[in-house]
Amino acid sequence: MNARENFHAMMSGGSPAWLPFSLPVTPPVADLIEERTGVRDADLAFETDFGYAWASYREDSVRWRGALADLGCDLSPAAELGPFCVAHVAPPAGTVGRAYHFRTMLHPLETVTCVAQLERLPWPDTSDPVHYAALARHFGQIHTRGKVAYAGLECTLFEIAWYVRGMDNLFQDLADGNGISDWLLDYFTQRSVDAGRAFVRAGADLIGLGDDVGMQTGMLLSVETWRRHLKPRLARVIAAIRDEAGDRRVWVHYHSDGDIRAIVPELIELGVDILNPVQPECMDAAALVRHHGRELGLSGMVGTQTTMPFGTPDDVRRRVREIAALHLDHGARVMLAPTHVLEPDVPFDNLLALVEEAKSIRFD
């Protein structure tokens, strides 16, 4: 049984030989992995169960800068302008120590005052196959290695909308009913519909959706606001994936940090198969298994605020065994992973303990 077969066996309610495992890391941790192993990619260095691919949007940053300047947003030459005008600025050299990957986020569309201004911007046509042309080859390579083909579509609609507009502005737009944030949410919903369909056609096993809608004390926005503005749009994305997949089972993985227990039943209703990251600092994985174990798989659960940076290797191993017990004792569908990318404050011995313990647990 290879990793892909093992993953599908678990998700289909069968008997996996081990717990599927992934290891997301930040660039400084990748540096350290490369120094220690000679391989920079954590999933290759430690032979985890997943391979990843994303859409590659072909955009003209010069055209975007000109269009933004016409709105009164003159980005400095130092600003990094990504797809859909998501923009960041790197901090001055040496100011963030080993965390050189940190960036300050800009909100280029914060000066927009009407929908007509949005409509004049050079948004890419996300239905154009050129954006997805390389996916089938990437997924084919992942499948040749026997791994699960994971298609990344996190920041599905809410996060990317506030990235470009600003969170305060986005919520104010929704309260005012001026149409600006609705336009952005609709555009990014359609982007995700188009990408989700393309991912299915290219052969993805697992599609990663998600928007951070939780804080560690509860929802970031009211459940009523989520139901009105985000739930119907997320439903469109999942429905498109299901429609494109037909009889082939493509699993939906949904990420949100924080305590989002208030909407878990509704995520299941929409068709979410796997919830991530189930932060142990604010969500009880065992309780989720008791209430939703037959309907919902869980991914993550190894705390990156607690166990990974501040625990001992024995603490890490103990947490892995606790997660494995959810499957052994209750038949839960669980995937091992840190609850977010590992930052440079995580001791390398803890990283190794996570990998070694995850690989030591076998059910065959």
- Provide the pLDDT for residue 293: 87
Q: Is there a single domain that holds both residue 287 and residue 310?
A: yes
Largest CA distance in the chain: 63
Are 113 and 19 within one domain?
no
| Omega before 338 within 30 of 0, i.e. cis | no
- The reply to whether 175 and 192 lie within a common domain is yes
Claim to verify: residue 288 and residue 180 sit in the same structural domain: yes
Quick: pLDDT tens for 290-316. 999 889 999 999 999 999 999 999 999
Query: Nearest Cα to 299, choosing from 2, 10, 3?
Result: 10
- Confidence at residue 32, expressed as pLDDT on a 0 to 100 scale: 97
Same domain, 268 and 350: yes
Do 25 and 117 fall into the same domain?
no
Find the CATH number of the domain harbouring 204.
Answer: 3.20.20.210
Q: Are the C-beta atoms of 52 and 150 separated by less than 8 Å?
A: yes
My answer on whether 252 and 155 are in the same domain is yes
Domain boundary among 77, 100, 123: 123
188 by DSSP, 3-state: which?
helix
**Tokens read off for 147:** 């791994």
Model-level pTM?
A: 0.96
Model pLDDT, residue 30: 98
Q: 89 pairs with which residues across the strands?
A: 104
Are 85 and 190 contained in the same domain? Answer: no
Determine the structural domain holding residue 215 and report its residue range: 3-59+125-360
26 and 171 share a domain? Answer: yes
- Is the domain of 186 the same as that of 89? no
pLDDT of res. 159? 98
Q: End of a domain among 108, 123, 138?
A: 123
User: What is the distance of C-alpha 139 from the center of its chain?
Assistant: 18
For residue 25, what is the DSSP state? B
User: What would the two tokens of residue 239 be?
Assistant: 């429905």
Cβ-defined contacts of 26-29 (< 8 Å, 24+):
26/99, 26/101, 26/341, 26/342, 26/343, 26/344, 27/100, 27/101, 28/98, 28/99, 28/100, 28/101, 28/343, 28/344, 29/341, 29/342, 29/343, 29/344, 29/346, 29/351
Query: Do 223 and 138 fall into the same domain?
Result: yes
DSSP 103: -
Among the candidates 103, 123, 143, a domain finishes at 123
pLDDT value at residue 294: 86
Q: Please give the pLDDT value at position 364.
A: 78
- The label of the residue with tokens 């909100």 reads 107
From first to last of its 364 residues, the chain has per-residue pLDDT tens of 999 999 999 999 999 999 999 999 999 999 999 999 999 999 999 999 999 999 999 889 999 999 999 999 989 999 999 999 999 999 888 888 899 999 999 999 999 999 999 999 999 999 999 999 999 999 999 999 999 999 999 999 999 999 999 999 999 999 999 999 999 999 999 999 999 999 999 999 999 999 999 999 999 999 999 999 999 999 999 999 999 999 999 999 999 999 999 999 999 999 999 999 999 999 999 999 999 988 999 999 999 999 999 999 999 999 999 999 999 999 999 999 999 999 999 999 999 999 999 999 999 7
CB-count exposure of residue 246 (10 Å: 0-12, 13-18, 19+)? exposed
Q: What is the DSSP letter of 77?
A: T
Structural domains counted in the chain: 2
Please indicate, yes or no, whether residues 105 and 214 belong to a single structural domain of this protein. no
